Amino acid sequence: METMTFQDGRLDVTLYKAPGAGRILYILEPEPVVGKVSHLAEELSIHLVAISGMDWNRDLSPWPAPKVFKGEEDFSGGAGPFMEQLETSLFPKTEALLDRPMEKRMLAGISLSGLFTLYMAALFHTLDGAASISGSLWFDGFTDFMGAHPLPEKIERVYLSLGDREKKTGNPRMAKVESATLEIEEILKEEGVETVFQMNKGNHFVYGAERLEEAIRYLAEGKVWKGPHSL
């Protein structure tokens, strides 16, 4: 496996090339997290790409919304320009480094980047799969958005997951995360999208690499792989 790094504007990109692969999965997480599962590139014959350097509250939020914690900035709703950068610059630049045209392009994210992943999947017709791992699907108005914007037929499968303690928070907005995720799962299934929801042990931001591996395996193989922290 060959590893390549480059920048696209302010974004840091690490590509794990799988020899002969015709599929690519972009992961909106920094290299240290993705690096822990990079062995899956060759095992599953899928290129993996780690992307970091985003302004999370700006680039990953679909529309403006109040902050959830004191001391943070409000969500400014800058996902539109960020999606355009991925579509018109980062994706072509990455895929120009590969040995063959890509047959499948997928996107995955954790937390707020998991929210962004579903948002982009609904609005752009260039993705074949999406994974929202512990996604911030509690975000104000997002379940209504998903209900009003069916995913393109091009989407083959969607992976959703949460930790079993994520809803146990004193923040009333974030406490809706489990019910919102289950509602979105139902919306997608009613649309005929192959969708799986997987519950894992623990709270938010734990077992990140293990949860990411479960998502990668499902997108690549269409099979639920239960790691040691799955329920």
Burial group, residue 42, by CB count within 10 angstroms (0-12, 13-18, 19+): middle
123-169: per-residue pLDDT in tens?
999 999 999 999 999 999 999 999 999 999 999 999 999 988 888 88
Is residue 140, in this structure, part of any structural domain at all? yes
Residue 104 lies in a domain: yes
Report the CATH number that the domain containing residue 130 is assigned in CATH: 3.40.50.1820
In a domain, 197, yes or no: yes
Number of domain units in the chain: 1
In a domain, 65, yes or no: yes
Helix-, strand-, coil-residue percentages of the chain, each rounded to 5: 35, 25, 40
Mean pLDDT by 10 residues, the chain (231 residues): 96 97 97 95 98 97 92 93 98 97 97 97 96 96 98 96 87 93 98 95 75 96 81 64
In a domain, 144, yes or no: yes
pLDDT of the residue at 168:
86
- Print the domain residue range for 189: 2-221
The reported pLDDT for the residue numbered 202 is 66
φ/ψ bin of 9: left (φ > 0), alpha (ψ from -120 to 50), beta (otherwise): left
pLDDT of residue 170: 80
In a domain, 60, yes or no: yes
In a domain, 87, yes or no: yes
Nearest 5 degrees, angle CA 197-CA 135-CA 85? 120
Q: Is residue 230 part of a domain?
A: no
